[in-house]
Chain A
Amino acid sequence: MTMFHATALNHRNRRVEWLVRVLFLLMTLLLVVPVVLILAVLVIRGGPALSFEFLFSEPLNNMTAGGIFPALVGTIWLVGVALLASVPIGVAAALYLSEYAPDNMLTRAINLAIINLAGVPSVVHALFGLGAFVLFFQFGTSILAASLTLAIMTLPVVIVATRESLQAVPQAFREACWSQGATRWQTIRRVVLPNAVSGILTGIILEVSRTAGETVPIMFTGAATFIPFLPQSVMDQTMAMSLHLFTVSTQVTNVPESLQYGVALVLILLVLAMNAISISFRVYLRGKKKW
């Protein structure tokens, strides 16, 4: 004798639940497929090209042989300088928008502008960088000009990610802190930022990935197809991985396939390595945060 009988509706709900679950799982797997395929193809075809020699020597014979060292170093320079410019500006702007700005027309307009900035095509950013940094500020085609262009391009990512992680910190924490006589800045420093920092790092990780891979914006502003020496300062031009990949794939003839794939593989590994560092730092920080 049972007290409860499953009705037809119960059975149907269960079937639908199962179907929906499987459907979502399939979509997730579908998402993973391209990533795995790209990595697999790169590793299989570009893997053989990888060597100490490849990473740490200059391109030879009109880039049909040799290594990628100047491009590798150049990309690290470009990403590093872009981060130095965009992270402080982006985080400060997000702090203002989230913690200080009154909710009025101006704030809303600024928020809209940031979202639109994220939608501007990279070639437009490139031309802006050319006009503003290369010509107007007379930085010339240099790492500085290219990095600043990249920084402006990726600012929205940093701002949006930072603002969202700031807003994920419960308002009650702020109120508790304010009621203790803390100023807004003291509250931010002691309560808000420590709990938002892992989210902010996520924004920076995203930015690193984008910055390292961008080609067009740096082509016009500071990256060159071939420079036989390493950059000595931010005012120098430089090679870059993304542009180098473009060059060896489309601009130069008789490049061995393994070299092309090798460049792509190193570019991806570079991004993965930077992400891994940030992610492990984030995991470390998140381990300390609980509420």
Chain B
Amino acid sequence: MVAGQGQRATSVDGTEALKLSIRNLTIGYGGVPALRDVTLDVRRHEIFGIVGPAGSGKTSFLKAIGRMDEFTRAMSVEGQILFDGKDVREWRNVYALRRRIGVVFPLPVGLPMTVYDNVALSPRLSGIKKKAQLDEIVERCLRRAALWDEVKGRLDALGSLLSGGQQQRLTIARALSQDPELLLLDEFSIAVDPVTTMRIEDVLKELKSEVTIVLVTNLVQQARRLADRTAFFLTGECVEVGQTEALFEGHVRDERTSAYLEGRFG
């Protein structure tokens, strides 16, 4: 039993409450382990924070969920990742799986196409061609990512020419354009100013009612502000999972967790 796992989320199958069940997940790169034997659950409509220093395996964890490991050389994934109770490895159509999972990368990647095309990319990939429908999706996603007001006059500008903070919100809009059930954010605020970070955080709080969010962050205070539950990763090990507030108040099983959260690490 994983720490912090609630009553409703006890069995792997049939539990409506679980969006992700990770069982004994081990990830390695060419034989060098990056993540060892991680078991945890992510509940529907929660923000699940993952904190930990560099090299703790957080990004590898996110990659494995959308089966992005197939694009990374020598990356091996063992164990189970149950998405809605079904192992992601059993999805025949990996592209359909990925469309249900929105990903936001640490450095904003505005694709070298217009703002409009950036957001319309995913709907177009899934076959939506009608201009009116695309217009509606683009506006809705840009609004939800708190970017609409800034770019509505220049949807034809290149996405890669927006400012860093705008590009990051653009990637969030892009991730939302596929109507994901799960949103994976990998240190999204690394290249974003504090004001924009706060705006994005507000967006995430609103999104929580519709989307399950996994938030990898190296800012422990960000995890505290946003995450319902938080996991602490350290050098490829999941040290602890718990209610965020409880962890920050010092109710930890492992002393290393409070040491990290309180910033007296090392």
Contacts and interface: CB of A to CB of B under 8 A. Distances in A.
B75 interface: no
Contact of B103 (A103, A179, A182, A190): A179
Interface string A154-186: 000000000000000000111111111111001
Contacts of A183: 95
Given A103-B73, A181-B125, A289 B174 contact: no
Given A180-B125, A180-B178, A291 B112 contact: yes
A290 interface: yes
A270 interface: no
A178 B71 CA distance: 9
B171 A176 contact: yes
B107 A172 contact: yes
Nearest to A178: B71
Contacts of A181: 95-99, 122, 125-126, 178
B71 A173 contact: no
Given A176-B105, A179-B68, A289 B122 contact: no
B95 to A, nearest CB: 5
Interface in A75-130: 103
Q: How large is the interface on B (under 10, 10 to 19, 20 to 34, 35 or more residues)?
A: 20 to 34
Contacts of B96: 181
Given A172-B107, A173-B109, A173-B112, A186 B66 contact: no
Contacts of A291: 110, 112, 158, 160
Q: Of A175, A176, A182, A186, which is in contact with the most chain B CB atoms at under 10 Å from its CB?
A: A176
B9 interface: no
Nearest to B93: A181
Contacts of B111: 173, 176-177, 191
Interface string A223-264: 000000000000000000000000000000000000000000
B107 A175 contact: no
B122 A180 contact: yes
Nearest to B171: A176
Contacts of A179: 66, 68, 98, 101-103, 175
A195 interface: yes
B121 interface: yes
A194 B161 CA distance: 17
Interface in B108-134: 109-113, 121-122, 125-126
Contacts of A194: 112-113
B254 to A, nearest CB: 32
Interface string A268-291: 000000000000000000000111
Contacts of A103: 73
A178 B126 CA distance: 13
Nearest to A180: B122
A175 B71 contact: yes
Contact of A175 (B73, B105, B126, B178): B105
Nearest to A190: B121
Contacts of B177: 180
A28 B175 CA distance: 49
A177 B111 CA distance: 8
Contacts of A172: 105, 107, 109
Contacts of A186: 125
A250 to B, nearest CB: 52
Contacts of B98: 178-181
Contacts of A191: 111-113
B95 A182 contact: yes
A180 B121 contact: yes
Contacts of A290: 112, 158, 160-161
Interface in A182-212: 182-183, 186, 190-191, 194-195
A181 B113 CA distance: 18
Given A182-B125, A289-B112, A290-B158, A174 B71 contact: yes
B114 to A, nearest CB: 10
Interface string B162-174: 0000000001001
Contacts of B178: 180-181
Contacts of A180: 98-99, 121-122, 125, 174-175, 177-178
A101 to B, nearest CB: 12
A274 B96 CA distance: 45
A285 B107 CA distance: 26
Interface in B152-205: 158, 160-161, 171, 174-175, 177-178
A176 B125 CA distance: 13
Interface of A: 103, 172-183, 186, 190-191, 194-195, 289-291
9 contacts: A103-B73, A174-B71, A179-B66, A179-B68, A179-B98, A179-B102, A180-B121, A181-B178, A194-B112
